[in-house]
Amino acid sequence: MFNYTINYINETVEYLTSRGFEKAEVGIILGTGLGQLVDDIEIIKEVSYNHIPNFPTATVEFHKGKLIYGLLEGKKVIVMQGRFHVYEGYTMQDVTFPVRIMHKLGIHTLLVSNASGAINLNYKKGELMLIEDHINLQGDSPLAFKGVSLLGERFVDMSQPYDVEINTQFKEIAKREGIVLHSGVYASMFGPQLETKAEYRMLKIIGADAVGMSTVPEVIVANHLKLNVAAVSVLTDECDPDNLKPVSLEEIVAIANKAEPQMITLFKQLIKSL
């Protein structure tokens, strides 16, 4: 596994470097329905995932599948327009491979967005939640492979997985811009099915404020690589087990699209200050 990983990392980095991806500062992962940030980037290079050696291919509808390199608020950024999930049949190592590539290309900070459901019923759909901690319920770890200690410390400390300074800045920006930004715990499930009423009750009991199917693997690897990392959820539905109604992917994407301008403001203002 280790030789496979290190050889693939080197091959992929060489390919992207030869196409102008270099000396990046910030990596950004855009989640479901959250692709409009790309419109604010001065794009220098972009490559479809299926053209990048060893990259997974996005199989989820609404995930475009492009790696974009450019300037945002004067900083060199690499943006994943579309991410990968274990429910697509990928391993944890596949899902987090792009984080290792962005690290090799120079990023020191990783910003992650996702669409999630509100377990905390004081939080409403269309609002944002800053992730301050998480619960990994995906049944695996992206660090569970032979040779991982040669890429970074095996037993990664996770007492503070999300950067406190960045989170403080996000809160200050939200207050200044009049954006409702909750803070809470994000639970990551395997998916792709949504949760049952009983599962929503369980998640509330164990301390989750929101639930989704992504983000945690990438954050674990970011900590493995000692990157500064922060994540923001767009709350796209309210997970009230006593009044649960069916929700469609189309509805989730529509709400994410409507809330996205606020997330873009947070990300742009933060990047400007880095």
Nearest residue to 60 (alpha-carbon basis) of 253, 196, 257: 253
Q: How confident is the model at residue 1 (pLDDT cuts 50, 70, 90)?
A: low
CA 164 from chain center: how many Å? 17
pLDDT confidence of residue 162: 98
User: Rounded distance, CA 4 to CA 241, Å?
Assistant: 44
User: Rounded distance, CA 51 to CA 261, Å?
Assistant: 30
pLDDT confidence of residue 206: 98
Domain that holds residue 163: 2-273
The residue whose two tokens read 């929700």 is: 247
User: Rounded distance, CA 222 to CA 156, Å?
Assistant: 10
Alpha helices in the chain (DSSP H): 2-18, 92-104, 164-177, 197-205, 216-224, 249-273
pLDDT confidence of residue 5: 80
For the cut 60, the answer to whether the pLDDT of residue 63 exceeds it is no
Residues 132-159: pLDDT tens digits? 999 999 999 999 998 898 888 999 999 9
**Tokens representing 118?**
């509100």
Compute the C-alpha angle 147/152/145, nearest 5°: 30
Specify the number of domains making up the chain: 1
Residues 17-62: pLDDT tens digits? 999 999 999 999 998 767 889 999 999 999 999 999 999 876 665 5
Mean pLDDT score, 183-211: 97
Q: How confident is the model at residue 3 (pLDDT cuts 50, 70, 90)?
A: low
Residues 206-247: pLDDT tens digits? 999 999 999 999 999 999 999 999 999 999 999 999 999 888
Give 160: exposed, middle or buried? Use CB within 10 Å, 0-12, 13-18, 19+. Answer: exposed
**Tokens representing 35?**
């692709």
Report the CATH number at residue 110: 3.40.50.1580
For the cut 70, the answer to whether the pLDDT of residue 108 exceeds it is yes
Query: DSSP 3-state helix, strand, coil percentages of the chain (rounded to 5)?
Result: 40, 25, 35
User: Rounded distance, CA 116 to CA 49, Å?
Assistant: 24
* Strand partners of residue 109: 26, 228
Whether this model's pTM surpasses 0.85: yes
